[in-house]
Amino acid sequence: MSRMYNVLMLLVGIISVCGNAFSADSVSGPPAATSMVKLLSNLDSFDGKNVEVFGYLVLHGMPQLYLTKDHADGIDRLSSIPVVFDGFHELWPSSCLGKYVRIRGSFRRVDAFSLGLRDIKSVYVPDEERFCYSMQVD
Protein backbone atom coordinates (compact mmCIF):
# COMPACT_ATOMS: atom_id res chain seq x y z
CA MET A 1 0.00 0.00 0.00
CA SER A 2 2.80 2.41 0.90
CA ARG A 3 4.58 1.71 -2.36
CA MET A 4 1.43 2.42 -4.39
CA TYR A 5 0.95 5.69 -2.50
CA ASN A 6 4.57 6.74 -3.27
CA VAL A 7 4.13 5.94 -6.97
CA LEU A 8 0.87 7.90 -7.04
CA MET A 9 2.50 10.93 -5.37
CA LEU A 10 5.40 10.75 -7.83
CA LEU A 11 2.97 10.77 -10.77
CA VAL A 12 1.03 13.71 -9.31
CA GLY A 13 4.31 15.62 -8.91
CA ILE A 14 5.40 14.92 -12.48
CA ILE A 15 2.02 15.95 -13.88
CA SER A 16 2.00 19.22 -11.92
CA VAL A 17 5.56 20.10 -13.03
CA CYS A 18 4.70 19.35 -16.67
CA GLY A 19 1.49 21.35 -16.38
CA ASN A 20 3.41 24.36 -15.03
CA ALA A 21 5.96 24.09 -17.83
CA PHE A 22 3.24 24.17 -20.47
CA SER A 23 1.29 26.99 -18.83
CA ALA A 24 4.37 29.22 -18.76
CA ASP A 25 4.34 29.21 -22.57
CA SER A 26 0.65 30.01 -22.90
CA VAL A 27 -0.22 33.56 -21.95
CA SER A 28 -3.73 34.83 -22.48
CA GLY A 29 -5.95 37.71 -21.64
CA PRO A 30 -5.95 41.39 -22.54
CA PRO A 31 -2.72 43.32 -21.95
CA ALA A 32 -2.37 45.12 -18.62
CA ALA A 33 -1.16 48.67 -19.23
CA THR A 34 1.67 49.36 -16.80
CA SER A 35 4.65 51.64 -16.36
CA MET A 36 8.29 50.59 -16.71
CA VAL A 37 8.80 51.53 -13.03
CA LYS A 38 6.04 49.13 -11.90
CA LEU A 39 7.30 46.42 -14.22
CA LEU A 40 10.94 46.75 -13.13
CA SER A 41 10.06 46.84 -9.43
CA ASN A 42 7.59 43.92 -9.55
CA LEU A 43 9.05 41.53 -12.14
CA ASP A 44 7.64 38.35 -10.64
CA SER A 45 4.11 39.70 -10.30
CA PHE A 46 3.96 40.29 -14.08
CA ASP A 47 5.47 36.91 -15.03
CA GLY A 48 3.12 35.14 -17.44
CA LYS A 49 0.93 38.18 -18.10
CA ASN A 50 0.20 40.15 -21.25
CA VAL A 51 1.40 43.73 -20.81
CA GLU A 52 1.53 47.05 -22.59
CA VAL A 53 4.51 49.19 -21.56
CA PHE A 54 6.18 52.41 -22.71
CA GLY A 55 9.95 52.89 -22.88
CA TYR A 56 12.97 53.70 -25.03
CA LEU A 57 13.93 50.87 -27.41
CA VAL A 58 17.52 50.24 -28.50
CA LEU A 59 19.67 47.39 -29.72
CA HIS A 60 22.44 46.54 -27.22
CA GLY A 61 23.38 43.03 -28.31
CA MET A 62 19.69 42.22 -28.23
CA PRO A 63 16.74 44.61 -28.21
CA GLN A 64 16.27 46.27 -24.81
CA LEU A 65 13.44 48.48 -23.59
CA TYR A 66 14.84 51.13 -21.24
CA LEU A 67 13.13 53.43 -18.79
CA THR A 68 14.47 56.51 -20.64
CA LYS A 69 16.90 57.49 -23.40
CA ASP A 70 19.42 58.55 -20.72
CA HIS A 71 19.29 55.05 -19.21
CA ALA A 72 19.84 53.57 -22.68
CA ASP A 73 22.77 55.91 -23.43
CA GLY A 74 24.37 54.84 -20.14
CA ILE A 75 23.54 51.17 -20.85
CA ASP A 76 21.89 50.92 -17.42
CA ARG A 77 20.78 47.28 -17.65
CA LEU A 78 19.00 47.52 -14.28
CA SER A 79 16.60 49.97 -15.94
CA SER A 80 15.87 47.77 -18.95
CA ILE A 81 13.93 44.73 -20.06
CA PRO A 82 14.97 42.38 -22.87
CA VAL A 83 12.63 42.29 -25.87
CA VAL A 84 12.55 38.97 -27.71
CA PHE A 85 10.93 38.64 -31.12
CA ASP A 86 10.42 34.86 -31.03
CA GLY A 87 11.28 33.60 -34.50
CA PHE A 88 11.54 37.10 -35.94
CA HIS A 89 15.20 37.96 -35.27
CA GLU A 90 15.95 38.53 -38.94
CA LEU A 91 12.79 40.62 -39.32
CA TRP A 92 13.51 42.98 -36.40
CA PRO A 93 12.02 46.33 -37.46
CA SER A 94 14.91 48.82 -37.39
CA SER A 95 12.38 51.66 -37.71
CA CYS A 96 11.45 50.94 -34.07
CA LEU A 97 14.97 51.37 -32.65
CA GLY A 98 16.22 54.53 -30.98
CA LYS A 99 12.70 55.71 -30.19
CA TYR A 100 10.19 55.87 -27.39
CA VAL A 101 7.69 53.10 -28.08
CA ARG A 102 4.67 51.39 -26.59
CA ILE A 103 5.05 47.61 -26.78
CA ARG A 104 2.36 44.97 -26.35
CA GLY A 105 3.47 41.44 -25.61
CA SER A 106 3.74 38.79 -22.95
CA PHE A 107 6.08 39.21 -20.01
CA ARG A 108 7.78 35.94 -19.12
CA ARG A 109 11.07 34.10 -18.82
CA VAL A 110 13.66 34.88 -21.50
CA ASP A 111 16.16 32.47 -19.95
CA ALA A 112 16.88 30.93 -16.55
CA PHE A 113 18.01 34.26 -15.14
CA SER A 114 15.77 36.96 -16.59
CA LEU A 115 12.26 37.94 -17.54
CA GLY A 116 11.44 39.94 -20.64
CA LEU A 117 8.90 40.86 -23.27
CA ARG A 118 8.08 38.03 -25.67
CA ASP A 119 5.38 37.18 -28.19
CA ILE A 120 5.36 40.81 -29.33
CA LYS A 121 1.97 41.83 -30.76
CA SER A 122 2.72 45.45 -31.61
CA VAL A 123 5.25 48.26 -31.29
CA TYR A 124 3.78 51.76 -31.56
CA VAL A 125 5.78 55.01 -31.91
CA PRO A 126 3.63 57.75 -30.32
CA ASP A 127 5.79 60.65 -31.60
CA GLU A 128 5.23 59.47 -35.18
CA GLU A 129 1.67 58.23 -34.57
CA ARG A 130 2.34 54.91 -36.30
CA PHE A 131 3.04 51.25 -35.67
CA CYS A 132 6.56 50.20 -36.60
CA TYR A 133 5.55 46.58 -35.97
CA SER A 134 2.15 44.95 -35.74
CA MET A 135 1.41 41.25 -35.87
CA GLN A 136 -1.47 40.48 -38.21
CA VAL A 137 -4.27 38.76 -36.36
CA ASP A 138 -6.93 36.90 -38.36
Compute the distance between CA of residue 62 and CA of residue 7 in angstroms, rounded to an integer: 45
Query: Would you give per-residue pLDDT tens digits along the chain (138 residues)?
Result: 555 544 444 444 444 333 333 334 445 577 888 899 998 898 888 988 999 999 999 988 888 999 999 999 999 999 999 998 765 555 567 788 999 999 999 988 777 667 889 888 889 999 999 998 887 553
Contacts for 1 with CB less than 8 Å, ≥ 6 apart:
none
Q: According to the model, what pLDDT value does residue 110 have?
A: 72
Beta bridge partners of 108: 116
Helix, strand, or coil (residue 44) = helix
CATH architecture of structural domain 28-134: Beta Barrel (2.40)
DSSP-derived letter for residue 51 is E
CA dihedral 118, 119, 121, 125 (to 10 degrees): 20
Burial class (CB in 10 A: 0-12, 13-18, 19+), 132: middle
Contacts for 73 with CB less than 8 Å, ≥ 6 apart:
none
Q: According to the model, what pLDDT value does residue 10 have?
A: 44
DSSP-derived letter for residue 113 is S
Compute the distance between CA of residue 34 and CA of residue 9 in angstroms, rounded to an integer: 40
